[in-house]
Structure 1
Amino acid sequence: MYQRIVIKVGTNVLTRADGRVDITNISSLVDQIAHLKQRGVELVLVSSGAVGAGKELLPNRTDDGAVAQRQVYSAIGQVRLMELYRQLFAGHGLLCAQVLATKGDFRDDLHYDNMLNCFRALLMDQIVPVVNENDVVAVTELMFTDNDELAGLVARMVGAEALVILSSVEGLYDGPPDAAESRLITRVDPDDPTADRYVQARKTSGGRGGMATKLRIATETARAGIPVMIGNGRRPGILHRLLESEWPGTTVR
C-alpha cells in the first residue's frame, strides 16, 4: 500500500453536465480520501473546479473567455469549493488546508522551499492539503498547462509514491473512448516514444487539458520514479482500488 500519494481531480469529475458543482460525487471522493487517511496514507489533493464553481455563482455574467473573467470566476469559486471541502472533510474529523501556487513558485528556490516545508508540516497531522493554481496572479508564463502539470510537480516535490489523475474517462484508449471497438490500454511504458499515437485530438469540456497533457505529465512523472494511475473519477469506489493490486484504468510506470 502506498504511504504518500497525490490525487488530482479534474473539473469534469467535480461538475455535472450542466456545469454546476456535483456535490454528490465530491462527497463520494471525500469519503474515499478519508478512508485512505484512516488507513495511514499521507495525501495531497490537487483539485480543479474553482472556475466552474465561480460560474455557478455568477450565472448571468457574460463569459468572454478573458483572463480577468477567469480570475473573477476562480477567486469567488475557490471560496465556494473550499467551504464545500471543509464541511465534507469535517464530517470525517479531518481538516483541509488551501494551497495556491503558480509555476513561478516551483522556479524560485525560496518559494519552493517554503511550500515544501508547509507540505511536510501539513502531512504530519489529520489535514488534507487542497492545492489549486492561483488563477488570480497566474497569467501567461506563470500559468500551468493545467492542473495535471501542477499535480506532477507537487508529486515530485513531496516525494510521493504515486500520482493518481482522475478524469471523466477510464484512461488511455487505442481509439475514441466512446467507440465500442476501442480498448483500454492498461499499461504504458514511460520510455515508449510511440505511446502518444493513441491520444485523441478531442478533449472533454470544462477543463483546460486533455489526454495528451495527462500522458505527457504521466510519462515525465513516471520517469522520475513515481508511477501514475489515470482513472475515471466517477467510477464508484475508484480510490479504494489503490488498496488493491489491480488499477481499473491506465498505469504509467
Structure 2
Amino acid sequence: MTTPTAIVVGVGAERGLGAALCRRFAQGGYHVLAAGRTGARLEQVVAAIQAAGGSAEAVPTDATREAEVLRLFDRGMAPGEGRAPADLVVSNAGNNQRLDFRTLSVETFEEFWRVGCLSGFLVGREAARRLVPLGRGTVIFTGASASLRGKPGFAQFAAAKAGLRAMAQSMAREYGPLGLHVAHVVIDGGIDGERLRSRRPEAVAERGEDGLLGIEAIAETYWHIHRQPRSAWTQELDLRPFKESF
C-alpha cells in the first residue's frame, strides 16, 4: 500500500496555519512536504510531526522563484519508494501589513504581489501541469478578507489577494471538469497564531476568547474540502470566528 503525498507551501512558525495544515494532513495518513523560506522553522514543524508518528520532510522553498517551485513539485511527484505522487496541494504563502498608500513604494507593492499572487500562480500552474493529466487531486488557495474588499492601508495586500482569488476561479472552471478540485478559502478574521500574537498582542487581547480563528479548526476545513465527493465540490468558502462582524 502506498502513502499519499501532500505539498504545503507557506509553512512558517509551528503555531501557524501552514504548520497546522501539515499536521492535519499527516494525521490523515499523508507524507507531507513542508515548504517555506526558513529552514529552521520547517525542521521544527517536521520534527513535531515525526514525534507524533506522522511522516513529513522539510523542503526550503521561496515560492516566488520559479526554479524553486519546479524543484518542489519534482520532489512531490516522485517522493520515493512506497509513496504516491502528490494529490493534495495548498498555496498558503502570504504577507500582510498596514501601509500608508501615499508612501507605498513600487518595490513594496511588487513584493506583496509576488508573495500573495505570483507564488499562487507558480504553485497553481505546476499543480495543474502535474495533476490534470492524472485526472485527480486538490489544490487549495488561502485567501483573506482582502480577497473580497480593500480597506484603508491595505491596498497592496488586497490587490494581491483579489488577483489570487480570480486566478483560483479561472483554474476551477478550466480544470474542475478534468478532475482537479480547485478551492479558495477566505480567512475573514484574525488567526490565532504566532504572527498575530507577536506583532499585535493588543489585538489578541481586544478580541478576547473565541475572537480569533483557531488554526487547527481552519486546517480541519481544508481537510474536509480535500475529502469532498466530486458530486458536491466547494469552490469557495469563508471562515470567521462567531464573534466576527461581517
> What TM-score results when the alignment is normalised by the length of structure 2?
0.42
TM-score by length of 1: 0.41
In terms of fraction of residues, the more helix-rich structure is 2
Which one scores higher on RCO, CA 8 angstroms, separation ≥ 6?
A: 1
